[in-house]
Structure 1
Amino acid sequence: MTIVYFDCYAGISGDMTVGALLDLGVPLEHLQAELAKLPLPPGSYVLSTSRAERRHIPALKFDVAVHDHHTHRHYGGIDAMIAESSLADSVKERARRIFRRLAEAEATVHGVPLDEVHFHEVGAVDSIVDIVGTAICLDYLGVTEVSAAALPLGGGFVETAHGRLPVPAPATAELLHGLAVHGDCGDGERVTPTGAAIIAALAAGTGQRPAMRLERIGSGAGGKDFSDCPNILRAFLGTVEKAAGGDDPVMVAETNIDDSTPEVLGYVMERLFEEGALDVFFTPVQMKKNRPATQLSFLCRPEELENLARLVLAETSAIGLRHYPAGRIVLERRVEELQTPLGPVRFKLVSDGGLLLRAAPEYEDCRRIARERGIPCREVMEQVVAWRQAGGGAS
């Protein structure tokens, strides 16, 4: 299992996160190519990186020069844009989860419905690039788990599109609920709403350093140079070795529902996956008084149980859930993109102790090729599998 630990001693922002991940070895060209899959206006932004120092410590500075100053975007449109793109499913899931947490915080603070949350011109493009860029980089690095240090609260005031606001800004403070924080740093905006949303949406835990075999360290520079500490976000990339047959602790939660429509249950499944459920499934059951019903079950990390349970209770007619701990024996998984004769296709590679067991093409890529070429999706999948088995893409 590949882990990234964000050392947020000085804080975190979207550009610092992308900078740290690029410094871990993600090519800027890969990030640019993947972001191009979003239907943003041509020339609306330009990406660049440079080496910088913060209190004499080197780091990578990631910058987004925004040229689209006239497009107003709402959360609903941004979410649909990401969902309908040709980005990898894992990238879309992470990016949509981060954006949803950010939009939920803004909706709470401003008292507006979720789909009406508005992102101001430059901020919208910045947020899209930083959030989707973070998801792209994590996918490229094969990261399966994210954790983070406690976040500094900062202090003072910050100038925003809504006027002068206290630090942490209201949306940031909303996102910090449930996360480990500290007041050791001085004044200044140390955590931005985007940075807080990334941690709130993705981190399996905050405050506790995970045990791992450390492989690489990336450093992303912030835009300001604070006097009390280097304004740098460090990303520690490593692996957790599991012995063969090792146990992966999860929680199983389930509830029986006999009065919700299929549309509601389908929506709940989608929301559970967006919020971090590892698996969601339905089972037909027979309840008392001979009533047919559906058992909704989901698997999750222990720390996600309460949040996901409350989602089910809010979105369905269920009045309670039962839950219990379980273990999983899982194989190693990673994604590799290959240039096949039909075009780029990502393969999911499943291994056991370094021995490759199977490789399966990603359905979304095969579906895209089938639509573009006007041939059956089944035929695309058969062709790319046969091409790979014949040695295609071998290094």
Structure 2
Amino acid sequence: MNRLHLDCTFGIAGDMLLAALIDLGADIDRIRHDLQTLPLDPFELGSERVDRCGISARLLNISLGRHEHEHEHEHEHEHEHEHEHEHSHHHGHAHAHPHRRAGDILAMLGSADLPPRVQQRAQALFTAIAEAEGRIHGIDPAEVHLHEVGAMDSIIDILGVCLALEQLEIDTLTASPVPVGHGVVSMAHGRFPIPAPATLELLRHIPLSDFDAPGELTTPTGAAFLQVLVERFGTLPAGAPTRIGYGAGSRNFDHPNVLRAVLFEQSQATTSPRESIAVLECQLDDATGEQLGYALSLLLEAGALDVFHTPVTMKKSRPGILITVLARPADAEALERLLLRHTSTFGVRRHDASRQTLERRIETVTTPLGKARIKVGLLEGQILRTTAEFEDIQRLAHQHDLSFEDIRTLILESWRLGPKPSVADI
């Protein structure tokens, strides 16, 4: 079992991650071959070594048709063509990419001859991107036209990363907090402030760093990798690093324009990682049920991991409610302020704790009523829990006028009857 840590100190984009994985040892020839078996437009995939502020890193190069393409991530973010790749990076070509429906991309993946975990990760990534775009534009995710992320080079990035992770036998991913940069980015729908709408939507509940520089430091594809694949955010995990890879963006800046990927090897007997959390508490004896419910909603929307109420007896035997909030350490201060502002408490207690969690992965299952996601929990490679994602149950129940429980049962049954990754794949 291997763990990968992504050092996103200076940002992340899809091409930078793929380049870093190739630098770690993923076979670019195998990746190219596997990609060329799919119904994609003609392309060539290569890489070269470059220097970024004294750091030797690998730069990805993609040729689409006859157009040489220095690829997506320059961290300069000034575009010269209307489509403008998946983020705002200045490209060395002026051809337009076709815009693809999310549903078409997912259908292509569903019929592709790919390893199960590659297929599951890729489907989860494109599903997350489509849902983010759907929320922004107010349309069904399946009908979303993926302009920047639907471009051929971005599709190659996403599928290439999933293939590289499989080659390197990466089971879990962690990452540092991520910067977004500042400025204005031009996209298919016009000019927007950085971070782009899709990037910010995909960065919900992900800790941002305070590093700042002009330009788009994190792209929609990079944000999708963090949202879907990363299990924990923070500093480097405990353990012995075995290999380090650097993926470069295509421009030079005052900071190293690189993404660092650090590989840790883990034994099969390694227990699930412990996660540091903050526990916030306050007691109330004068709040109505409506006020408690409103505060609970605000806390969850602001990124709380969990919120719960416990009946307690306070001084002078007054009945009261203990509000407990579980939070990421980076979110704790903001959630404390929210409790002080939106409840009647005069103070909030905080203590740091740790929790052991199951390894998690998201799988996409095809049911007779449509696709849905399953959260799978593992301990030392053994599956212990399977849970259908609430949003997918709700969506299918609404679309087909069926009960929540009927849809939940259908999704879990479809997962049980479908093909599974082997233990070695997990």
TM-score bin, normalised by smaller chain = 0.5 to 0.7
Distance 1:311 1:120 in 2: 24
The equivalent residue for 1:129 is 156
Matches for 1:1-395 after TM superposition, within 5 Å: 1-41=1-41, 43=42, 45-67=43-65, 69=96, 71-120=98-147, 124-227=151-254, 229-241=255-267, 243=269, 250=357, 266=367, 271-273=372-374, 276-278=375-377, 299=385, 308-309=389-390, 311-312=392-393, 315=396, 317-318=403-404
SS in 2 for 1:210: coil
- Give the conservation status (yes or no) of the 8 Å contact 1:37–1:87: no
> Could you say if the C-alpha distance between residues 80 and 47 of structure 1 is closer, same or farther in structure 2, counting changes exceeding 3 Å?
same
SS in 2 for 1:277: strand
1:315 offset after TM fit, Å? Answer: 4.8
TM-score (norm 1): 0.65
Q: Tell whether the 8 Å contact from 1:268 to 1:312 is kept in structure 2 after alignment.
A: no
Alpha-carbon distance, 1:272 to partner: 2.9
Question: Counterparts of 2:235 and 2:396 in 1: how far apart (Å)?
Answer: 32
Question: For 1:173, what is the secondary structure of its paired residue?
Answer: helix
Give SS of 2:12's match.
Answer: coil
CA 1:120–1:272 in 2, change beyond 3 Å: closer, same or farther?
Answer: closer
In the alignment of these two chains, the number of paired residues is 285
SS at match of 2:216: coil
1:311-343 per-residue CA deviation (whole Å, 9 max, x = no partner) reads 546655448xxxxxxxxxxxxxxxxxxxxxxxx
Which residue is equivalent to 1:368? Answer: none
> Cα distance, 1:80 vs. partner?
0.8
TM-score (structure 2 length as normaliser): 0.61
Q: Which amino acid aligns with 1:212?
A: G
Query: What residue in structure 1 maps to residue 315 of structure 2?
Result: none
Task: State the Cα distance separating 1:144 from its structure 2 match.
Answer: 0.4
Distance 2:368 2:231 in 1: 24
Matched residue SS, 1:204? strand
Could you tell me whether the CA contact under 8 Å between 2:370 and 2:396 is conserved in 1? no
User: Is the Cα–Cα contact under 8 Å of residues 100 and 150 in structure 2 kept in the other structure?
Assistant: no
Q: How much identity, in percent, do the aligned residues show?
A: 36
Residue 121 (structure 1) shift = 7.9
> Which one-letter code corresponds to 1:12 in the other structure?
I
| Corresponding residue for residue 287 of structure 1 | none
* Superposed CA offset, 1:168-191 (max 9, x none): 001000011010102222221000
Task: State the 1:31 CA deviation.
Answer: 0.6
